[in-house]
Structure 1
Amino acid sequence: MDAGAGGQGDREGHRGAVLANPDLDDPARAAGLEQAASRPPRHRTRPGGHRQVGEKGVAAHKKSARRRGAWICFQDESGFSLLPVVRATWAPRGQTPVLTHRFSWKRLSMSGALAYRPDRSEAVFVFGIKEGAYNTASLIEFLTALLDHLDGQKVTLIWDGLPAHRSNDMKAWLATQRHWLRVEPLPGYAPDLNPMETVWGNVKARELANLCPDTIDEAHTAAQAGLERVGSSYQLCFNFLDHTGGLSL
């Protein structure tokens, strides 16, 4: 990923420390997130479908991660453009809000990973923003950055069935990474089991809500601010996990 938010091509990945101070803001509460009852973070804290069947699958992955001493990591992608993310807002009575925006085919993509210790002692949030969609090559680059951010420790990666996740090139690369990485698919009928889905909803309900930027760089700046806000809150990261419906570690 090229350095600099204003450059051409892929954007640089951004990773930030997760602060120990809980930061439950109004949009999070509006999304129905409840404060998690977790232990205080230690010094290394950083940054529907058939629910019953899905939870059994994830529970097996948690046991495997504990045996391997691995992080449990949820990964997902999302996107945005100059088109506003329309959300309900306030306006004087009789004056319907009107969003005026430019139309552009240019689109930015976000890739994010929420990683947790099975004992809930630590949380890490890693994200990247780039132009265009994430393909196999850029996802491999993102996962390599994740490995570096976790100091080369073992990871159980849980993600969906995106074609780039199942490509032959991705399978070949994953086969060379078995010393640190184990991949488990989410049930195709239960994307709501992935806490990253709640991250995207939270950012789009706040920083990107009704945003009508003139340039794609303005949209990039707003999305980055939202993702950094998520990464700065240890408590918020665990609230996203708990919001998936009882998948407590």
Structure 2
Amino acid sequence: MTPPTSRTWSRQGHTPVVHVRGRSRRRVSVAALCCYRPGERSRLIYRPLFHSAFDSTTPAGRRSFAWTDFRDLPIAAHRQLGAPLVLIWDNLNTHRAASLRTFIAEHDWITAFHLPPYAPDLNPVEGIWSLLRRSSQANTAFNEPGQFVRALRRGIRKIQYSSNLIDGCLTATGLTITNHATTRPQGQ
């Protein structure tokens, strides 16, 4: 993983260089949901997924979440929150998979909307990733995936305990929450 650099320095006239040792075949994917309910503390629910060339838990060659992984995240959120969910997802192809659409249609406690294409500024989770890159991952070259995962969990935990940061990610999108009960649109 190439480390994000937030600050660096060097002698005048010399370009700063950040050295990173070799690449790893292992990969870590993270999916997250920012959960908002009027009058209650904002929540962040996430799931990491560990990949490697020799990983027996994922299909051969898969380097990202499958639709079943994205299905399991709202199920976990529904169990934790004990309330219906309205998902606002970006246009990741897995979010639009037929199997996932079928799953959503079969459950009345979940409603999904998709953001317009190329609109990361409307996605509060993008703000979470930005916060992580600028805090727990900044100026760090991780030697192994375990070290990265520990830093990632520590950074996410700090955000989870600071609901004002999660609220700020929603505020930055310009979207608002209403007190109206959500109903499933006809035809979906």
TM-score tier by shorter-chain length is 0.7 to 0.9
- The 3-state SS of whatever aligns with 2:21 is coil
Aligned residues: 163
Matched, 1:182 2:111: yes
Matched, 1:248 2:176: yes
1:247 is aligned with what amino acid?
A: L
Task: Tell me the distance in 1 between the aligned counterparts of 2:69 and 2:18.
Answer: 37
Matched, 1:88 2:19: no
Task: Tell me the distance in 1 between the aligned counterparts of 2:107 and 2:147.
Answer: 37
Task: Tell me the distance in 2 between the aligned counterparts of 1:210 and 1:120.
Answer: 37
Matched, 1:228 2:164: no
CA contact (8 A) 2:85 2:110 kept: yes
Partner of 2:65: 134
Partner of 1:56: none
- The 3-state SS of whatever aligns with 2:147 is helix
In the TM superposition, 1:17-36 aligns within 5 A as none
1:89 is aligned with what amino acid?
A: R
- The 3-state SS of whatever aligns with 1:93 is coil
Partner of 1:192: 121
Matched, 1:171 2:101: yes
From 157, 176, 179, give the equivalent of 2:87: 157
1:121 is aligned with what amino acid?
A: E
CA contact (8 A) 1:101 1:213 kept: no
The 1:172/1:90 distance shift into structure 2, 3 A limit, reads same
Matched, 1:115 2:28: no
From 148, 151, 158, give the equivalent of 2:79: 148
- Structure 1 residue 220: deviation in Å? 0.8
- Structure 1 residue 192: deviation in Å? 0.8
**TM-score of the two chains, using structure 1 as the length reference:** 0.61
1:130 is aligned with what amino acid?
A: L
Partner of 1:213: 142
- Structure 1 residue 97: deviation in Å? 4.6
- Structure 1 residue 83: deviation in Å? 2.6
CA contact (8 A) 1:102 1:214 kept: no
CA contact (8 A) 2:2 2:20 kept: no
Higher relative contact order (CA 8 A, sep 6+): 1
The 1:194/1:234 distance shift into structure 2, 3 A limit, reads same
1:222 is aligned with what amino acid?
A: A
- Structure 1 residue 120: deviation in Å? 4.6
- Structure 1 residue 122: deviation in Å? 2.8
Task: Tell me the distance in 1 between the aligned counterparts of 2:164 and 2:136.
Answer: 19
Structure 1: stretches of 5+ with no match in the other structure? 1-81
Task: Tell me the distance in 2 between the aligned counterparts of 1:169 and 1:163.
Answer: 12
CA contact (8 A) 2:6 2:134 kept: no
- Structure 1 residue 91: deviation in Å? 3.0
1:38-91 alpha-carbon deviations (Å, 9 max, x no partner): xxxxxxxxxxxxxxxxxxxxxxxxxxxxxxxxxxxxxxxxxxxx3322x23143
Partner of 2:56: none
The 1:248/1:120 distance shift into structure 2, 3 A limit, reads farther
In the TM superposition, 1:74-85 aligns within 5 A as 82-85=1-4
User: Equivalent pairs: percent with the same residue?
Assistant: 25
CA contact (8 A) 1:114 1:237 kept: yes
1:248 is aligned with what amino acid?
A: T
